[in-house]
């Protein structure tokens, strides 16, 4: 049996099934998206999955900010 080769490059685009749904839930609850995700991360079902995915995406954003800040410092030192 030949195994299909899966592309893992664009997994984020396919991971979001209902764009904006978690943000709408957070807005109805009067909370920020990150606070709502933190509160509901251990919930079962769709809301829990959305919350955990939002936390994963937030980690990616934090990582890129850290990397860009260190790159900026390194560039200014060399001048």
Question: What's the mean pLDDT in 14-35?
Answer: 94
| pTM beyond cutoff 0.85 | no
Q: Give the span between the Cα atoms of 36 and 16, in whole angstroms.
A: 17
Is 77's pLDDT higher than 70? no
Mean model confidence pLDDT for the chain: 83
Question: What's the pLDDT tens digit per position in 27-52?
Answer: 999 999 999 999 999 999 999 999 99
Map 20-71 to HEC letters.
CHHHHHHHHHCCCHHHHHHHCCCCCHHHHHHHHHHHHHHHHHHHHHHHHHHH
Can you give the pLDDT at residue 38? 96
Count of alpha carbons within 13 angstroms of residue 57, beta-carbon side: 15
Is 7's pLDDT higher than 70? no
């Amino acid at each position: 049996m030949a195994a299909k080769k899966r592309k893992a490059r664009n997994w984020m685009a396919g991971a979001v099934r209902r764009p904006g749904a978690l943000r709408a839930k957070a807005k109805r609850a009067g909370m920020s998206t990150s606070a709502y995700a933190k509160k509901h991360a251990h919930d079962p079902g769709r809301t829990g999955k959305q919350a955990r995915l939002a936390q994963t995406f937030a980690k990616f954003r934090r990582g890129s900010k850290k990397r860009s800040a260190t790159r900026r410092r390194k560039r200014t030192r060399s001048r």
